[in-house]
Amino acid sequence: MTSQLEDIKLEALSISEGIRDSPVCIIVLGMAGSGKTTFTRSLIQHAQEKFNPYVVNLDPACREVPYAAHVDIRDTVNYREVMKQYQLGPNGGIVTALNMFTTKMAQFAELVRRAGERGHKWCIIDTPGQIEVFTWSASGNIITEGLATLFPTIVVYVMDVVRSACPTTFMSNMLYACSILYKTRLPFLVALNKIDLQDCSFIKDWMTDFEVYQEALEEEQSFVSNLTRTMSLTLDTFYENLTTCGVSAKTGVGFAELLQKVLECVSEYEKNYKPVYEKMRKERLAQQAAPQPAANVEESGVSVPLGLGLQDPPANTGSGIFLMAPGLVPIAAEDNETEEMELDPKEPMEDQNFQSFVQSHLDAQKTKRDRLAQQDRDNS
């Protein structure tokens, strides 16, 4: 293993040369059945000519994939054998298969790098059916963060518009998307999939106009809808950081616009993420040049230990400061604004009752709408 690592020198690559320009890694995530695999196939077709995608299937349990994968986890690990050998159920089998694949992360990243040299401008990564297998596992973390430290990386979250027509399901989906956004802290594009079955404009309305969503919720009288109502208020800011695009992975409708939005996410990565990463890289190089006692992980962030064996837990599963988010770049951190953000005892949010909290949001929405209307009038 050590000699392989010396050959590959991934750590050295990531630290001394910084993020490579190519290929752009596109990690496709989404709930089971949302259409990730079908979406991957369509994305490959539409991006083929311009971006010559390198394709990776990370779902060990699928029977077959409707595209030609350059790297297929099933070639590395036999998921059924894993289940039998370790006496695991299907989910345990998938997680263990993914863990085994991750022990080859260094080689995998090297394959992606070489693909870039051969002219593959994008690397599209299809993930396991069950989303939590990837997003809440150590190996999912290592793969995502490992790629993001080496290549421009974005997340496409595939969302089934038909299932999300129910307001509470929509909210669950959004909370999941939100947790992934803040966990991976990468440019994030929501593909509203299956628009051949149902138009997605209602979702866009729900995301831009709080009142419309509240009206939809009014029809659902349950404890969950009360909870959802409260949470929808807090998700407002999250929606502002999201780019959405309606597509049909089945028919290919919407993919021209989606490609455009992927490129916007890549620019966002270049603009917001890369400078932060480069800054950290320089700090780490400086640290290495002057050996010191063990650095404080909480302050400096830790890179993914690419190429380490599985027995080594991922170093940065905790605070996740290493990856910085577009729109979430902590400019404030430099200005010590974090201290200012500490709770002002005079205006604790807890003291606001629900009604006034709602009212302040409605006012903010109204101001926003008025401003947009004014802009429209000015433009016409």
Ligand X SMILES: Nc1nc2c(ncn2[C@@H]2O[C@H](COP(=O)(O)OP(=O)(O)O)[C@@H](O)[C@H]2O)c(=O)[nH]1
Residues near ligand X, by CB under 6 A: 30, 32-38, 129, 193-194, 196-197, 248-250
| CB nearer Mg ion, residue 36 or residue 74 | 36
| Close Cβ partners of 102 (under 8 Å, ≥ 6 residues apart) | 138, 139, 142, 143, 310
Write each residue from 95 to 134 as x if it is in contact with Mg ion (CB under 5 A), else as -, in one continuous string. ----------------------------------x-----
Q: Distance (Å, rounded) from C-alpha 194 to C-alpha 254?
A: 10
Instruction: Identify what 246 binds: ligand X, Mg ion, none; CB under 5 to 8 Å per kind.
Output: none
Q: Whole-number minimum distance, CB 59 to ligand X, in Å?
A: 7
Q: Whole-number minimum distance, CB 138 to ligand X, in Å?
A: 22
Reduced to 3 states, what is the DSSP secondary structure of residue 244?
A: strand
Residue of closest CB approach to ligand X? 35
| CB nearer Mg ion, residue 59 or residue 145 | 59
Write each residue from 23 to 42 as x if it is in contact with Mg ion (CB under 5 A), else as -, in one continuous string. -------------xx-----
Q: Whole-number minimum distance, CB 31 to Mg ion, in Å?
A: 11
Give Cα 244 to chain centroid, integer Å. 13
Instruction: Identify what 197 binds: Mg ion, ligand X, none; CB under 5 to 8 Å per kind.
Output: ligand X
Task: List, in sequence order, every residue forming a beta bridge with 193; answer none if it has no partner.
Answer: 160
| Close Cβ partners of 113 (under 8 Å, ≥ 6 residues apart) | 13, 20, 150, 151
| CB nearer Mg ion, residue 154 or residue 249 | 249
Write down how long the chain is.
380
Other CB atoms within 10 A of residue 242 CB = 17
DSSP conformation class of 118: T
Reduced to 3 states, what is the DSSP secondary structure of residue 155?
A: strand
Q: Whole-number minimum distance, CB 62 to Mg ion, in Å?
A: 6
- For Mg ion, the binding residues (CB under 5 A) are 36-37, 129
